Amino acid sequence: MWGLMGGVRLVKAAVTCLLPERLYGGWEGGVLWYDLDGHFDILRLVCLLQARIHQGKALSCGMDGARV
């Protein structure tokens, strides 16, 4: 099995795929997720997306990780 860290890596990869390249360093693509074991946490995905978006906004404004 993948274990906890494998799942975290997959969610982080999904975040990178979903975000636009400009500002966020993503790939501007889509993600198709097959949740075979029923453990996918959509709230975790949303939290990681929001964190990357806030990080990208802070970097584009020249701030040191401060929330925008």
Domain spans of the chain?
3-60
Output the CA–CA distances (angstroms, integers) from residue 55 to 2, 11, 32, 33, in the order listed: 28, 17, 25, 25
Quick count: other Cβ atoms within 10 Å of Cβ 63? Answer: 12
Least trusted range by pLDDT, from 4-18, 23-37, 50-64: 50-64
Residue 66 pLDDT more than 70?
no
Indicate the angle between helix axes 3-18 and 42-60, nearest 10 degrees.
Answer: 50
Please provide the average confidence, as pLDDT, over all residues in the chain.
Answer: 80
